[in-house]
Amino acid sequence: MTQGIRSPAGRPTPTRGFHHPGRVIAGAFAVAVAVGTALLSLPIAVAGPGRADLLTALFHATSAVCVTGLVTVDTGTYWSGFGQAVILLLIQAGGLGIMTLATLLALVLSRRLGLRARLIAQAETKALSAADVRRVVRRVVLFSLAVEAVVAVVLGIRFAVGYDQSLPSAAYHGVFHAISAFNNAGFGLDPQNLIPYVADPWISLTICAAVILGGLGFPVVFELAREWRTPKSWSVLTRITVIVTAVLLVGGTLVFLLAEAGNPGTLGPLGAGAKLLAAFTAAVMPRTAGFNNLDIAAYQPETLLLTDALMFIGGGSAGTAGGIKVTTFGLLAYVLWAEMRGDPDVEVGRRRVPATNQRQALAVALLGIGVIAVSTFVLEALTDFGFDLVLFEVVSAFSTVGLSAGITADLPPAGQVLIVLLMYIGRIGPLTLASGLALRDRARRHQLPEERTIVG
């Protein structure tokens, strides 16, 4: 059991119900997946006769709850209105659950760890109260619903005006894609996902904006709203998230343009403006939205590798995106820069990052690489697909992205079960691991003798 901070009187200050946050997160998502599987197994959930088999229901329930977007059947035609509504509710529950749990854990951890740098006498005055919890949850829910409502209106108008859909159909498409985009789920109602709208800036940029907002994370968005004029006062979390996100979006767009501009299967047939729009959208989606505006199966090998890297990094902490998080990647980049310069400390802005944070980032990244390596080996043994396609599928599942080169439905049952496990592990793993490592941080009363070893 995690020990609390000791007060001046020597009494431990408990972490108020967060002794085992990993168990809470894992259990909550497992229950949501089980409920979703049961609902999607009902005959009323499918558009045709019969019912979905257990693996299909489990796969799509997990993909929705973990806001991934990988599918083995077409969402818009296989599932009935009831089935689509279940998927939409699972996406919303998964997205709100992720943001709420991650934000509350960030609040708990920031106060729990921040106390170590304060006077011990202040410990008892910094406990997370019920009022804090209610306020955080309320703000997360209101922010999420407000963004989704605005995006739904914009998309609904465009579907009605630009694509001659009836008002009810346009409104439904707008709501579905708004919830799916903000929660970085990537589920679409068109069999081709966003490919029909590849040159439509109204739809593409609106969905991109929702994806980026959901992926930045609630703490970062609200800090930017308060202090966007004073970057020097930004926290380390916000500074790293904004810088790395901007670099990846700009760099990803440029690489997509260079690699795919002449590819007749992707950007080749588009005009100059549409190429730029499509490249930007394609760079946003691995962050980890999962909408595909281009035929991924036609990507150049270097573009597949770039997308693998973007998916693995993912989005911001305490957001709806997956991956190891841009904060983990950014922090490791700062560690590397400090090491190359010979600096004794890792500094971000005017703050020094503690060694415990550096070790946590390294642990999350290395464990992520390990899970992907083992899963790729297993899936390669189970299928006859090429290594690049298998790696793409594994990274997409682990990073809860939902992009696919078109092999998901053709995987054998054992391969689909592996993808289900990867989506679940990828959704709860980094958050659970990071919080567990942080809450286990403790001071030692002695140190062993130091001995250096050869590195490299």
Report which of residues 237 and 21 the model is more confident about: 237
Question: How distant is the alpha carbon of residue 276 from its chain centre?
Answer: 24
CA 217, CA 194: separation in Å to the nearest integer?
A: 24
User: In this structure, what token pair is assigned to residue 180?
Assistant: 């799916």
pTM for this model (two decimals):
0.85
Asked if residue 85 belongs to a domain, the reply is yes
Q: Is the pLDDT of residue 99 over 70?
A: no
pLDDT given at position 266? 94
Whether 446 is covered by a domain: the verdict is: no
401 within some domain: yes
87 or 438, which is more confident? 87
The overall average pLDDT reported for the chain is 84
The percent of residues above 90 in pLDDT, for the chain, comes to: 58
CB 178 within 8 A of CB 210: yes
User: 137-171 pLDDT, tens per residue?
Assistant: 778 888 889 999 999 999 999 999 999 999 999 99
Between 26 and 12, whose confidence is greater?
26
Query: d(Cα 59, Cα 41) in Å, to the nearest integer?
Result: 11
**Hey, CA dihedral for 11, 17, 22, 27, is it positive or negative?**
positive
d(CA 190, CA 193): 5
| pLDDT number for residue 246 | 95
pLDDT of the residue at 350: 79
User: In the chain, how many domains are there?
Assistant: 1
The closest alpha carbon to 307, from 423, 404, 378, belongs to: 404
Q: Tokens 């709420």 — which residue?
A: 100
Average pLDDT score over residue span 176-191 = 93
Q: How many CB atoms lie within 10 A of CB 351?
A: 12
Distance CA 174, CA 318 (A): 25
Name which of 79, 77, 73, 75 is nearest 41 in CA terms: 79
Mean pLDDT lowest for which of 113-117, 331-335, 345-349, 360-364? 113-117
Q: Is residue 174 part of a domain?
A: yes
**18 in Cβ contact with 133 (< 8 Å):** no
- Which pLDDT value is given to residue 230? 86
Amino acid 126: pLDDT: 33
Predicted local distance difference test score (pLDDT) of residue 26: 78
Q: Which residue has the higher pLDDT, 229 or 434?
A: 229
**Position 427 confidence tier, pLDDT thresholds 50, 70, 90:** confident
Query: Does residue 91 sit within a domain?
Result: yes
Query: How confident is the model over 7-12, as a mean pLDDT?
Result: 43
> How many angstroms separate the Cα of 333 from the Cα of each of 109, 234, 267, 310, 326?
23, 19, 31, 15, 10
Predicted confidence band of residue 291 (pLDDT cuts 50, 70, 90)? very high
Beta bridge partners of 353: 346
Q: What sections of 320-354 are H helices per DSSP?
A: 326-341
State what percent of residues in the chain have pLDDT above 70.
82
Domain range for 324 is: 5-439
Q: What is the pLDDT of residue 218?
A: 80
Which segments of 288-411 are extended strands (E)?
346-348, 351-353
- Look at strands 5-6 and 12-13 and give their pairing: antiparallel
Q: How far apart are CA 292 and CA 43, in angstroms?
A: 30
* 450 inside domain: no
Q: What tens digit of pLDDT does each residue of 232-283 get?
A: 888 888 899 999 999 999 999 999 999 999 999 999 999 999 999 999 999 9
Mean pLDDT of 287-309: 92
Least confident of 12-16, 134-138, 289-293: 12-16
CA 421 – CA 59 distance, rounded (Å): 9
* H or E segment to which residue 13 belongs: strand 12-13
Residue 452 lies in a domain: no
